[in-house]
Structure 1
């Protein structure tokens, strides 16, 4: 498993993003929330991921972009935890809900907990 985040794994489809927010399930660990939806991707990618930070909480685009860069990096480095333990295709959207600038360490611990919660939630649903 490589630690890359190629273009085909980025969530860009407006229709899929709208469906994700309308029908998706969520897992959260403050200050990050993950909205996910089981779906099918035509391009063969297993997971498509997007990240976002609220314009309401961070007026400066520089700060929003910094948060999104940190979140993408956390996802990229912890991606094997998801890929090795999940079945099917998914769309993910990571939302930063906090009001203060995070450090990389804070986000990484948060991401690991969210991934753990996601895996337990999905494994319980697949068993039923």
Structure 2
């Protein structure tokens, strides 16, 4: 698998984003929160991802853009955690909910923890749905 994050892997559809925030579940590892929903999407990839940083917490656009860039990069390098464990297509949005900026190494570790929590939670709900 190539470590890229192309156009087809990014969440851009307004309808899917609305569905995500109205019907989705969440997983949190401070300072990151992932909203996710299992749904069909137009991409050939198992999941589509978006990132966001609140303007309320980071007033200056360069600060928000830097955090979003770091979040996309840490996801891009670790997306095989998700891709190797999903059977159904998912859509998710990763939000930075902290008020202070953290460095790349910490963000990398938090992203890894968040993705493994997501996989564990989705596997648990899938197991519950199978059992009578």
TM-score by length of 1: 0.97
Report how many residues are paired: 128
Encode CA deviations 1:22-54: one digit per residue, 9 max, x unaligned: 100000000000001101123322211000000
d(CA) in 2 for partners of 1:43 and 1:36? 16
Which runs of at least 4 in structure 1 moved beyond 3 Å after TM superposition?
A: none
The equivalent of 1:51 in structure 2 is: 51
The equivalent of 2:18 in structure 1 is: 18
The equivalent of 2:78 in structure 1 is: 78
Q: Provide the aligned C-alpha RMSD in A.
A: 0.8
Task: Provide structure 1 residue ranges, at least 5 long, that are not aligned to the other structure.
Answer: none
Task: Provide structure 2 residue ranges, at least 5 long, that are not aligned to the other structure.
Answer: none
Q: Would you say the 8 A contact 2:11–2:91 is kept in 1? A: yes
d(CA) in 2 for partners of 1:43 and 1:28? 26
TM-score by length of 2: 0.94
Given the alignment of the two structures, is residue 98 of structure 1 paired with residue 102 of structure 2, yes or no? no
